């Protein structure tokens, strides 16, 4: 009798595809949302292979729709022959209308920016975490670095004792 294969339990952190660490360094992220992505087949295959970079990506709101710009998905060599892959095309974000209107109000009235912070798997779908943030000044970035260094040093001292 053959037993069914057990699925391996993966830790929650391993579901992450890509992180945008510079977004947290350059912006005070005050609110985050989860958005779906409208992708083509070759893009999903490339993302599974880890060929994605969201470091320079940003979100624009146009005509009641949210679009992801500058997300670099490098096509695989074995991408389908009937589609011409465009690696930095704009991709539609799937959000509810009330979420888009809230983002639009914050960007137009309050001077916020919408940036992509992380991309991850949720069941079998690719999701993008977008953050609503305000830009940091240079002195804010320095204080963030000082705080990070202090926390690192503090954890080292606590480990030794």
Reduce the secondary structure of 27-96 to three states and give it as a string: EEEEEEEEEEECCCHHHHHHHHCCCEECCCCEEEEECCEEEEECCEECCCCCCCCCCCCCCCCCEEEECC
Q: What is the pLDDT of residues 2-36, one digit of tens each?
A: 555 544 444 455 688 888 888 787 888 888 889 89
**CATH superfamily of the 16-160 domain:** Small protein B (2.40.280.10)
Indicate the pairing of strand 72-73 with strand 58-62: unpaired
Q: What is the pLDDT of residues 74-112, one digit of tens each?
A: 888 776 666 777 777 888 999 999 988 888 888 888 888
**Per-residue model confidence (pLDDT) at position 114:** 87
């Amino acid at each position: 009798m053959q037993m069914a294969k057990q699925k391996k339990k993966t830790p929650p952190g391993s579901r992450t595809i890509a992180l945008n660490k510079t977004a947290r360094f350059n912006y005070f992220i005050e609110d985050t949302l989860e958005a779906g992505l409208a992708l083509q087949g070759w893009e999903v295959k490339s993302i599974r292979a880890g060929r994605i970079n969201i470091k320079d990506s940003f979100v624009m709101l146009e005509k009641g729709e949210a679009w992801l710009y500058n997300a670099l998905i490098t096509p695989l060599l074995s991408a389908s022959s009937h589609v011409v892959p465009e690696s930095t095309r704009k991709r539609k974000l799937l959000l509810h209308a009330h979420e888009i209107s809230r983002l639009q109000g914050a960007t137009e009235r309050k001077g916020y920016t919408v940036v992509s912070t992380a991309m991850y798997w949720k069941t079998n779908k690719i999701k993008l975490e977008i953050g609503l943030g305000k830009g940091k000044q240079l002195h804010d970035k320095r204080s963030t670095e000082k705080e990070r260094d202090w926390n690192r040093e503090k954890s080292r001292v606590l480990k030794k004792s």
